Amino acid sequence: IIMAANRKSYTFAMGKINANKLANFPIVDVYVLVACPQNTLIDSKEFYAPVVTPLEVEIALGVRKWSPQYSTDFTTLLVDSAERFKEFEQKRMNNKDADSPHFSLATGKFVSVESVTPAHAAVEPVKEDSTEESTESQALSKIGPKHISIRYSSPAGDLLKEQTYRGLEAELGNKQPATAIKGKGGIASGLHDIDDVESSRNLR
């Protein structure tokens, strides 16, 4: 449903959610919590982005209308949404303004909507003697006479490339291990060089 609405989605698998965990992804406008019916409704006032249920997403995207019937059971929702999604997709195909820029609450700016293609639909057959590179989500790449690998590309990976900070990068093999040196000893209010402490002990 999210993909049909030309919105990018990212899947996060985590335990109990909290504001600190979700704050690591400032680009996300809204979170959809898929959990058991008893743990779906939470108070998201302390979160930096709204945390909603799958039913609320369908209402927001126009798949269904708001009604007194409210369900937190994701399995039941999938069965009921199958027919509604077909009607929603047909209406969206006829809507010329569906791809118009929208206002992002996260950035405070208007953002353009890029067409999102399912990963499995982006695979194209590649000839053995072909050396052309593909920019699709998945592409076959010849790495040897009898070996073919699949190069993956995803919205999450593209987003990571645009970030100025990507986390700590381990430079294994690029730097020689540092030589251990003597530090300081004592208590926090008065640290002394290890050599001075050892020499004072010897004098005693």
pLDDT in tens, 40-78: 777 777 888 888 888 888 888 777 777 777 777 777 777
Q: Give just the sign of the alpha carbon dihedral 4, 10, 15, 20.
A: negative
Residue 153, pLDDT score: 60
Average pLDDT over every residue of 22-36: 83
SS3 89: helix
- Model confidence band, residue 203 (pLDDT cutoffs 50, 70, 90): very low
Residue 36, pLDDT score: 80
Residue 101, pLDDT score: 64
Average pLDDT over every residue of 117-129: 46
21, pLDDT greater than 80: yes
Phi, psi for residue 92 in degrees, rounded to 5:
-70, -35
144, pLDDT greater than 60: no
Radius of gyration of the chain (CA): 27
pTM recorded for the entire structure: 0.46
CB 121 within 8 A of CB 130: no
Q: Of 18-32, 130-144, 152-166, where does mean pLDDT reach its minimum? A: 130-144
* Burial bucket for residue 137 (CB in 10 Å: 0-12, 13-18, 19+): buried
> Secondary structure of 171-190 in the HEC alphabet?
CCCCCCCCCCCCCEEEECCE
The residue with greater pLDDT, 120 or 8, is 8
Q: What percent of the chain has pLDDT over 70?
A: 50
- For the chain, the structural domain boundaries read 19-111, 119-162
Mean pLDDT of the chain: 68
Residue 132, pLDDT score: 43
DSSP 25-63: -TT-S-EE----GGGS----TTSSS-EE-HHHHHHHHTS
Residue 154, pLDDT score: 63
- Model confidence band, residue 113 (pLDDT cutoffs 50, 70, 90): low
Average pLDDT over every residue of 83-99: 62
Residue 128, pLDDT score: 46
Residue 188, pLDDT score: 80
Average pLDDT over every residue of 177-193: 81
CB 47 within 8 A of CB 33: no
